[in-house]
Amino acid sequence: TCSELFLIQTIFKWVISAAHCFKRSEVEVLAGKHDLDKPEESGEQLVGISRIISHQEYDTKTKESDIALLKLEHPLVFNEFVRPIDIWMILETLNLLLSADGPRVNRLQEVNVSLLALDDCNEYYKGRVHSSMFCAGKDEGGVDACQGDSGGPLSCFNGTRHELAGLVSWGVGCGRAKKPGVYTKVQQHVQWITDKTTHKQ
């Protein structure tokens, strides 16, 4: 199970997620869902996918370019439960918000995490974190994404609204000390997103 995030600006027929989530083609998007223990919630929308575009440079070993676009069969209806999100272009904030819905709970969760320096992250992961990625969590552990959260959003608050900074990509365990979560840096893929969503596919 992976998470997805509804995309940006005026491109309302696309969803963004992590490329490693899509090894099979039978995928649907369930938007506005808050609690999996409730069979039907008033704000939920189930939409089929007409196309999945994984980044052409996605590397299954290094997890570089771990990003994918999903084209919806029809646009979502925006309401208090379903909203688009813009892309955060300056990754310098220390307070990030991670939305997560991992396997240990059925209700959507969120946690505040801190952006970690790339050098520190590479010390923890022996140089495996590339410039197209970033780490977030806490040195002492305790807060993190986990299995089931893959492809989900890490957002930054710009003073008025949240903007998309990263996608849950990989890590070691969940919430371990000196093993923070590693995220795809979405701002590095803005041109790719624009090219794929504005040209006829």
> What are the residue numbers of the active site?
20, 66, 150
Contact call for residues 17 and 3 (beta carbons, < 8 A): yes
Other beta carbons within 10 angstroms of residue 166's beta carbon come to: 28
Contacts of 84 (CB under 8 A, 6+ apart): 6, 7, 8, 9, 12, 78
Residues in the chain: 201
Burial of 94 (0-12, 13-18, 19+ CB in 10 A): exposed
Q: How far apart are CA 75 and CA 73, in angstroms?
A: 7
- Which strand (E) or helix (H) includes residue 133? strand 133-137
Provide the β-strand partners of residue 111: 98
Edge-to-edge strands, sheet with 5-6: 5-6, 14-17, 68-72, 45-54, 28-31
